[in-house]
A and B are shown apart, each in its own frame.
Chain A
Amino acid sequence: MATRTQSTRADHKWGMVIDLDRCTGCQACVIACQSENNIPLNDQSAFLDGRAIEWIRVERYWEGDYPDIKARFLPVLCQHCDNAPCESVCPVYATYHNNEGLNVQVYNRCVGTRFCGNNCPYHARLFNYWEPVWPEDLRNQLNPDVTVRTRGIMEKCTFCIQRIRRSTRGGKQVEDQAFNPACVQACPTDAMTFGDLNNPDSRVSQKWEDERAFRVLEALGTNPSVKYLKQVDAHA
């Protein structure tokens, strides 16, 4: 039986399930995230320096040997761990766990020690080494609901908290699948499912118990809020 951490104080515990058997590695989630969350454009040098900012990235693995070879894709985003290694090392309490099961980054508290990024086993936290800039003709596409992060602070996936707030503010009851983060909304193969794990009827709660489910680096005991589904392929 899979463990599911119940949050005690709030109505919601947000979680995500990603079906790797459906993922084609198309990167639509990456682009959707980029434009929803005001992430600056990464040019080639950013990738070469290892300083590209992507709140969600698609990792590619080869499975098997030629000719029986398969490309496997793993979208990695902040796992919103219930036992998050990043939170305990922040000296200014800029990252903490809120009562909706979200691992939260408060930008205006962050002083940029980068301890959290170094302690994150998923490499999900990214540091702004430069002031973000956009081409002149993209200035007006910035999302007004999301803060533009300045140089010198950490940022990471928020599960699109601006959409969560918009749907639940004022104590509004929200139906399952009434809203989704940008990556889930953009996924063409419906590989990603987002929802409230405290609602046993939600789509994500049902997939959460799937027998193909695993969590990345589960042995570390971080207890992530993101699960992956993958059929073990004996022939690969």
Chain B
Amino acid sequence: MSNSLIKIAVPVIGLVAALVLAFVAYFFVLAWWSQPPAVLGFGDGPTQPIAFPHTVHVTTAGLDCQFCHRIASTEEAAGVPAVAQCQFCHDFTRITGEESDSPTAETEIAKLIGDPLEGPDPINWVRVHRLPDHVQFVHAPHIQQGFSCSTCHGDIASMEVVEQVRNLKMRDCVDCHRDNEAPTDCTTCHY
């Protein structure tokens, strides 16, 4: 009996092990070449200190990206707005979250107020879009050439939690530069 069990068990275990190994290999190869497959929470965006919904601000309130990310067309970074700017708009429009359907809106907006004497601390947003090391990316020329933010960042307007949609590896950049006759000299980005 035990002999026949082994005869069945060995190939089954071997097959399972081979499948697991194949999946692990597939995972690493895909993660290396592009992005890890969206399983086990790998494709999800990170949890932010304030559950900021781009959906509400872009779609409902109708704000342009550069209303908050103000230096995207002139500087390297797109710029994350200061807490003061968040506060200013919320004070001005008197939106405290009470009127929202979302149950968390009021508590999340209340985080902007902070200490009444010292004011709010800067928010430690978690970085979502990561470029590979050793690359100097500059937003300004891309925006100035008329590219939409969603070319690289995807449809942020419909994302409750922002996640990276393009792999933004060197091949991704170079392909796009070639298609648009942008310079592909190494020192365009590496210096």
Contact = CB atoms under 8 A, between A and B. Distances in A.
B141 interface: yes
Interface stretch (B28-36, B104-112, B130-138): B130-138
Most buried by A among B133, B141, B144, B187: B187
A145 B137 CA distance: 10
A175 B13 CA distance: 71
B145 interface: yes
**Interface of A: prevailing SS:** loop
Contact of B145 (A100, A102, A109, A170): A170
Contact of B141 (A102, A107, A170): A170
A108 interface: yes
Interface string A91-126: 000001011101010111100000000000000000
Given A104-B186, A107-B190, A147 B134 contact: yes
Contacts of A170: 140-141, 144-145
A162 interface: yes
A161 B191 contact: yes
Interface string A125-163: 000000000000000000011110000000000100110
Size bin of chain A's contact surface: 20 to 34
A146 B191 contact: yes
Contact of A104 (B133, B136, B187): B187
Contacts of A146: 191
Interface string B179-191: 0000001111011
Contacts of A70: none
A98 B190 contact: no
A169 B185 contact: no
Contacts of B188: 165
Contacts of A144: 76
B184 to A, nearest CB: 11
Contacts of B190: 106-108, 147
A86 to B, nearest CB: 15
Interface in B155-191: 185-188, 190-191
A98 B141 contact: no
A169 B76 CA distance: 11
B171 to A, nearest CB: 15
A107 B134 contact: yes
Interface in A151-189: 158, 161-162, 165, 169-170
A99 B185 contact: yes
19 contacts: A98-B187, A107-B134, A108-B133, A108-B134, A108-B190, A109-B186, A145-B76, A145-B136, A147-B136, A158-B191, A161-B187, A161-B191, A162-B136, A165-B136, A165-B188, A169-B138, A169-B140, A170-B144, A170-B145
Top 8 nearest A-B pairs (CB, nearest first) are A170-B141, A108-B134, A161-B191, A169-B141, A106-B186, A98-B185, A104-B187, A170-B144
